[in-house]
Every structure is written in structure tokens, then in C-alpha cells.
Amino acid sequence: MTITRALVGPLAMLVLSVACGGGQKPAGDVEKGRQAFVDLHCNACHQVAGESLPPASVTPAVALGGRALLPPSEERLREDILLPSSHFAVGYPSEQIMKGDQSRMPDYSKALTEEQVANLAAFLRSRYQQGLPTGTR
């Protein structure tokens, strides 16, 4: 079998994807993500737009969801869950969301399965709507 030059690029990408454990990330389940959010006690520090969850013990709770000009992608939400110190929410006192120069959010990178992360991201993504944030003219 002869491999043509047109096939080299796609074939190389496929080999790299398989070798690196890549490929498609599992699709998340919104209901399982909601349950994981509660089970992991994420609601202790976060409130989610449009959700009736057990109340946060941190005040003010860090708000997730709602209207946003550019709602976060599921990939961005996965990053936020696994690498919370990569960037910080704006509009909150730094002592509420940071401990030194790190996020107060625990490191879940080794505690969660990829399926759990996908479910959490799908749940959170479902709570955003594109548009002007409430109170904006």
C-alpha cells in the first residue's frame, strides 16, 4: 500500500492522537454533572444561575452561569475545574477566591475522572446563555 502525501498529515495527527491518549473527550451528562456538583460540595463556595442547590457556606458565593457575552466553552470549564489557578474570577475580593497567589479552590486534577469533569463542564455550560449580562445597558 502506498501512502500519498495528502494522507501523511491526517495520518500523523491520528497517530499522535492515539499515542498521546487524545481523541474525543467524553461527552458530558448534564444531570450527572449537577449531581456531582452537589456530591463534591461545589455548592459550598459556588451558586449556579437558575439552580436550587443547598446554600453556599461562603458569602458572597462565587456565581456561575447566567448571561454572558461569550459563555465559556466546555473545554474552558474543564480547564477551570482542573486548573483553578490558571485565572481568577473578577468582581470578588481577592481573599475570597485566592490564598496567596493560588486559587482557594481545591486541586481536583487527580481526584476526578475524565467522565466526572466532562459531566461537571456539561452541567455548568448548560447554565450559561449568550447575551448581555443582567443589569447591563
Whole-structure pTM value: 0.75
Please state, in angstroms and rounded to a whole number, the distance separating the CA atoms of residues 127 and 111. Answer: 24
Does some domain include residue 13?
A: no
3-state secondary structure 76-118: HHHHHHHCHHHCCCCCCCHHHHEECCEECCCCCCCCCCHHHHH
* Residue 120: predicted pLDDT: 97
Does some domain include residue 106?
A: yes
**Pick the residue with more confidence: 43 or 20?**
43
Domain that holds residue 74: 26-87+94-130
User: 44-84 pLDDT, tens per residue?
Assistant: 999 999 999 998 998 888 899 999 999 999 999 999 999 98
Give the contacts of 62 (CB within 8 A, at least 6 positions apart).
45, 46, 47, 89, 92, 96, 97
Look up the CATH number of the domain holding residue 118. Answer: 1.10.760.10
Does some domain include residue 9?
A: no
